[in-house]
Structure 1
Amino acid sequence: MSATFRELSDRVGQVGELYARMHNIERNADWYLLKLAEELGELTAEHLLLAGRAKPNSDGSGGTREALESEAADLFGQFVLYLRANEIDIEAAIERKWLRHLDKYVGLDAEETASGI
């Protein structure tokens, strides 16, 4: 059974709180954003390793599908923490910014869509 985004967000938030307490991390607005950048860098590194476009780690780790998925999970988890810290209702924002286009473009062929009709 799949959790709703709110349930997942709450669980990720709990893990974030535990991690911050265990490691004595004081999080602020900058920390959340910088942590996102860090995790994106780690995902990028795994992507390049998996694609054979980066040198393997000196210890031979990384470059696997599991490592890529783990970094994607880290990035997503940190993004959820960023949303929570900044009180962003991502579901409403996605509706407003992305999904409103469905009504506009559903039924148009690719050429019409590309030309902005």
Structure 2
Amino acid sequence: MHLNDIARRIENLSIQDAEGYGISRSADWALLKLTEEVGELAQAHLTATGQNRDRGISADEQRQVVADELGDVLGMSLVYARQLGIDPEVATAEKWFRHEAAPAASVE
């Protein structure tokens, strides 16, 4: 599955949730939600790494909470990109892959 396919599916879920709760979606809203999710990821990380109270859950459960929060961060990043009309696949490739070293020419 491609990132744009995932983004489309998450966008549809976000629209459904917003309609259900009477939320007006915008780029501002998406950025604030993304910020909220990053905070929740930070809290989960602190808990999973023993830097916060353990909340009475096992290490495996803590790891799952981190994974879930990371999923929220990624999902809201995609929603934010779509709100701004940014193709997340292109944006990611242009930002990250331009730093890849060109393959060395082979010498025979």
Q: How does the TM-score come out when normalised to structure 2?
A: 0.83
Aligned residue-pair number: 102
- Structure 2 unaligned spans of 5+: none
Counterpart for residue 90 of structure 1? 88
2:51 to 46, 53, 61: 53
Counterpart for residue 112 of structure 1? none
Please tell me whether residue 26 in structure 1 is matched to residue 32 in structure 2.
no
The 2-side partners of 1:91 and 1:74 are apart by: 18
Counterpart for residue 36 of structure 2? 38
Q: Using CA pairs under 8 Å that are at least 6 residues apart, name the structure with larger relative contact order, 1 or 2.
A: 2
Secondary structure in 2 matching 1:103: coil
Please tell me whether residue 79 in structure 1 is matched to residue 77 in structure 2.
yes
The 2-side partners of 1:40 and 1:84 are apart by: 18
The 1-side partners of 2:101 and 2:50 are apart by: 41
Question: What is the aligned-residue identity percentage?
Answer: 33
Root-mean-square deviation over aligned CA pairs: 1.8
Q: Which moved more, 1:72-81 or 1:38-47?
A: 72-81
- Structure 1 unaligned spans of 5+: 108-117
The 2-side partners of 1:81 and 1:47 are apart by: 23
Please tell me whether residue 99 in structure 1 is matched to residue 100 in structure 2.
no
Q: Deviations over 1:11-33 (max 9, x none)?
A: 11111111101111112221111
Amino acid at match of 1:100: R
